[in-house]
Amino acid sequence: MSQVTSILAAEFDAFMEAADKPVLIDFWATWCGPCRALAPVVEQIAEEYADTLIVGKVDIDDAPELVERYRLMSVPNVILFKDGEPIAQSLGAVPKEALVKLLSEHL
């Protein structure tokens, strides 16, 4: 079973408020090849960091208000949130090591 929660735009704020640990959100789109390439990496991160991190994904095509709020210009765009505020970001289909490094610097 996946450790990654798909989040609808209408649920986003409540999801973030309910989070009791940092949240990693993968902003993606179904038409985005690099997003599909990054998905297994995000799944691995979710499993390996299950004790310290909540992982979710948002389809940007269904969340234009979140695209505007976080000024997302391209996908995949992975943002780490702490206490509901973005604290780190990774653009593009990066290797797992790059996301691990980002998390190690901020968790």
Q: What is the pTM of this model?
A: 0.96
Spot the catalytic one: 24, 25, 29, 32. Answer: 32
Identify whether 32 is a catalytic site residue. Answer: yes
Residues 6+ apart with CB under 8 A from 25: 7, 55, 56, 57, 58, 78, 79, 81
Spot the catalytic one: 35, 42, 45, 58. Answer: 35
Q: What angle do CA 45, 46, 48 make, to 5 degrees?
A: 60
Tens of pLDDT along the chain (107 residues) come to 568 999 999 999 999 999 999 999 999 999 999 999 999 999 999 999 999 999 999 999 999 999 999 999 999 999 999 999 999 999 999 999 999 999 999 98
Give the domain 4-106 fold.
Glutaredoxin (3.40.30)
Q: How far apart are CA 16 and CA 85, in angstroms?
A: 9
